[in-house]
Amino acid sequence: MNRLADSPSPYLQQHAGQPVHWWPWCKEALAAAREKDVPVLLSIGYSACHWCHVMSSESFEDPDTAEVLNENFVCIKVDREERPDLDRIYQLSHQVITEHPGGWPLTLVLDPHSQTPFFAGTYFPSSGRDGVPGFRDVLTNISKAWETKREKLDDQTERLRDFLSRSTQVTATDRALSISPASAALSNLQRQYDPIYGGFGSAPKFPNPPLLRFLLSWSSFDPEQQSAADRMLENTLGRMAGGGLFDQLGGGFFRYSVDGAWSVPHFEKMTSDNAQLLWLYAMAGERFKRDDFVEVARQLAAFMERELASSGGGFVTALDADSEGKEGQYYLWSRDELAANLSDIEAQIAGACWGFDQPANMDGERWHLGSGKPLSKVARRMGIGRSLAEECLYNARKKLLGHRRLRPAPDRDDKVLSSVNGLTVSALAAAARATGDPALLAAAQRSLDFVRSRLWEGGRLLAVSRGSRCYQMAFLDDYAFLLDGVLELLSVAFRPADLAFAKQLARALLAHFEDPYQGGFFFTANDHEPLIQRPRPMQDDATPAGNAVAARSLLRLGRLLDNLVFVNAAERTLKSAWDELQRAPQACGAMLEALDEWLNPPALVVMRGEAQQVQDLQRTLRSRGNVRDQVYALDPASLIDRYPAKGSFTAYRCEGTRCSAPIVDPAELAAA
């Protein structure tokens, strides 16, 4: 029998009606496999994943394949967004077994007694093709091996368990921290950089926000290399926003580009990606005084509020890659559709700007809107003014977006995750700072308030909310990303309750996740269910490493409050990550950003006074400073012992743990 019907996960619900006797991950499923002495077939994916849909329709909905699975395995289906702990462990296991990176759907076969895999792969076609064996053949061969080669499989799983155990062991350095990993990372990135289209490496090409954030913070590492870091960052952000990776009609970035020119994407839209990129474009707009980057941030924030916000204020997880059974169907256009919906001049301008004067880039007959010619060049070629060209492109975008909304839309995964909302709170706060739009600030506060009211219980955080159900004890990323978001929000609009929540999050993080011996943080809490590994993530993946965000956030909060418990925990984390920073610095962009804040503390300014006065001064100081600088305008009722009021206006300027004497003249602070 299929046991997924009661699961709250949209991904598991997609598999609830299949003939496979699926279980969710639970102790009962593992006990059943041990009792029957059959392997566990573990399938990990997520609702917006195109190839997960393909394998589902080809194999899991096929009665003959289901019969093989049901007779020879206990089958467990996992939503990787609900259980990132399992996904981390088994992605690493896949990499060790196959010597190739993993992906989704992730397909593993586990020894039922140890939960350790002895076979791993990703997508398998229903029948063999292109050198990849058919899924049923794979299952048959595994069943035979389980019956005839058990001793060999036991030896293999024992070696893997030993590796997984050793991979989480660290020895904190006792040496002074330095910028050497950052310099090595920049040199590596310069070698991998695509000078034409931006980004790093070739197809498929991912945005990699943690590395781009590292480049944005580079100025405090080594000013002599500033121009190189700026050039890579500006070109990459410009190319991504002007190409097919960005939805030119509705806003929002797709997951990644299948080509090196950012032209044709993989069409799922993840909230975690868009939140990180929103922060980047908002902050890069400030840093480089680029109005076009700020405009991308506006469009991106509008997309997120329109399509990813839940009715309760939190932000959901993703939009599917597929609609009407085909990937990208919702986003593609023909020339006939362009002509039917636009005036002649609008069609000419939009066609040239979005690539319709080039060969079709999808299915040989349709176009995904992407890299065409710059609007200024199109206007000159057509002999019209820039303002008229802008008006025509605006009208074309509005008309086509209206027509697109009549199409069957991609499904939406409406889970609300604490980790994703932490990223979103940070991004919307940064966008509010860059644009001055109070609606974005309100959206950030609603997201935080949703998480605090629904997912914070008894001093602990839950990871997932869907409908009326809140469940799953939270992971490192949930605490770290949310703490980071609260601090970003406090620097835009100070609410005393938010500061109190930040302190609660930090204390829970230290109590339940920190390694008290070598420093740093485990991915799972100290009272989490026992698994074959307790991950300790130092490297970034699609999101920044939780250890890195925890270190940076604890450092900021500790310096704001003059709390050495938080500051020292941040230092211990950096020292525990030192070997990883030395070995693979370009894989640790977020940790390098945390290292930067440790070695080169940003300016910290805290002001008290009449609300409008301190808010105006806050904007003035930010417009002159580094995007890393932290400027807080305290609510008059806020009590932070370190910053006592000395009259109608008081300010303190701090670097690291040292603060100036009280500054009571706003002009003196502005001059400083």
Regarding whether 583 and 619 lie in a shared domain, the answer is no
pLDDT, tens digit, for every residue of 231-279?
Answer: 999 999 999 999 999 999 999 999 999 999 999 999 999 999 999 999 9
pTM tops 0.85, yes or no: yes
Look at residues 354, 369, 404 and tell me which one is the last residue of a structural domain.
404
Query: Which pLDDT band, with edges at 50, 70 and 90, does 672 fall under?
Result: confident
pLDDT, tens digit, for every residue of 424-466?
Answer: 999 999 999 999 999 999 999 999 999 999 999 999 999 999 9
CB 47 within 8 A of CB 10: yes
Regarding whether 422 and 284 lie in a shared domain, the answer is yes
Regarding whether 357 and 447 lie in a shared domain, the answer is no
Tally helices (H) and strands (E) across the chain.
26, 21
440: CB partners within 8 A, 6+ apart: 301, 428, 429, 431, 432
- What is the three-state SS of 597-629? HHHCCCEEEEEECCHHHHHHHHHHHHHHCCCCC
507: CB partners within 8 A, 6+ apart: none
Domain assignment of residue 381, given as a range: 329-404
Report residue 332: phi and psi, to 5°: -100, 150
What is the Cβ-side half-sphere exposure of residue 30, based on CA atoms within 13 angstroms? 12
pLDDT of residue 131: 83
Residue with more model confidence, 521 or 622: 521
437: CB partners within 8 A, 6+ apart: 298, 301, 431
Distance CA 438, CA 578 (A): 41
- 163 belongs to a structural domain: yes
Regarding whether 98 and 85 lie in a shared domain, the answer is yes
Distance CA 551, CA 269 (A): 28
Instruction: Mark out the alpha helices in 289-368 (DSSP H runs).
Output: 291-307, 335-341, 344-353
SS3 381: helix
Give the CATH number of the domain where residue 546 resides: 1.50.10.10
pLDDT, tens digit, for every residue of 179-209?
Answer: 999 999 999 999 999 999 999 999 999 999 9
Examine residue 105 and say whether the peptide bond preceding it is cis (omega within 30 degrees of 0). Answer: yes
Angle, nearest 10°, between helix axes 438-455 and 496-513?
50
- 175 belongs to a structural domain: no
pLDDT of residue 363: 84
CB 352 within 8 A of CB 372: yes
Regarding whether 340 and 320 lie in a shared domain, the answer is no
Question: What value does the mean pLDDT take over residues 7-23?
Answer: 97
- 3 belongs to a structural domain: no
Distance CA 587, CA 196 (A): 23
Regarding whether 187 and 114 lie in a shared domain, the answer is no
pLDDT of residue 655: 83
pLDDT, tens digit, for every residue of 100-115?
Answer: 999 999 999 999 999 9
Give the CATH number of the domain where residue 61 resides: 3.40.30.10
- 233 belongs to a structural domain: yes
Question: What value does the mean pLDDT take over residues 131-136?
Answer: 92
Q: Which of 620, 632, 633 is nearest to 672 (CA)?
A: 620
Q: Which burial class, exposed, middle or buried, applies to 359 when counting CB atoms under 10 A from its CB (0-12, 13-18, 19+)?
A: exposed
Look at residues 350, 372, 404 and tell me which one is the last residue of a structural domain.
404
CB 143 within 8 A of CB 150: no
Strand partners, 466: 469
- 173 belongs to a structural domain: no
Question: What value does the mean pLDDT take over residues 214-223?
Answer: 79
Regarding whether 503 and 620 lie in a shared domain, the answer is no
pLDDT, tens digit, for every residue of 135-165?
Answer: 999 999 999 999 999 999 999 999 999 999 9
pLDDT, tens digit, for every residue of 587-605?
Answer: 999 999 999 999 999 889 9
Amino acid in position 429: A
Question: pLDDT averaged over the chain?
Answer: 94
pLDDT of residue 99: 95
Domain count, the chain: 4
- 174 belongs to a structural domain: no
Regarding whether 472 and 394 lie in a shared domain, the answer is no
pLDDT of residue 220: 61
pLDDT, tens digit, for every residue of 510-527?
Answer: 999 999 999 999 999 999
With tokens 């932290």, the residue in question is 630
CB atoms < 10 A from the CB of 273, how many?
24
pLDDT, tens digit, for every residue of 573-592?
Answer: 999 999 999 999 999 999 99
Strand partners, 621: none
Regarding whether 301 and 343 lie in a shared domain, the answer is no
When computed from its CA atoms, the radius of gyration of the chain, rounded to whole angstroms, is 26
* Least confident window among 353-367, 473-487, 535-549, 553-567: 353-367
Amino acid in position 431: A
Angle, nearest 10°, between helix axes 564-576 and 546-561?
150
Share of the chain above pLDDT 90, in %: 87
Query: Which pLDDT band, with edges at 50, 70 and 90, does 310 fall under?
Result: very high
Q: What is the DSSP letter of 587?
A: G
Query: Which pLDDT band, with edges at 50, 70 and 90, does 383 fall under?
Result: very high
- 2 belongs to a structural domain: no
Look at residues 110, 136, 167 and tell me which one is the last residue of a structural domain.
167
Regarding whether 130 and 30 lie in a shared domain, the answer is yes
Share of the chain above pLDDT 70, in %: 99
pLDDT of residue 129: 87
- 666 belongs to a structural domain: yes
SS3 348: helix
Angle, nearest 10°, between helix axes 476-490 and 418-435?
20
pLDDT of residue 611: 85
Q: Which of 79, 75, 96, 90 is nearest to 142 (CA)?
A: 75
Query: Which pLDDT band, with edges at 50, 70 and 90, does 132 fall under?
Result: confident
Strand partners, 416: 316, 465
pLDDT of residue 97: 97
Question: What value does the mean pLDDT take over residues 547-561?
Answer: 97
Regarding whether 394 and 500 lie in a shared domain, the answer is no
pLDDT of residue 641: 82
Regarding whether 104 and 67 lie in a shared domain, the answer is yes
Strand partners, 605: 631, 653
Query: Which pLDDT band, with edges at 50, 70 and 90, does 637 fall under?
Result: low
Angle, nearest 10°, between helix axes 344-353 and 375-382?
140
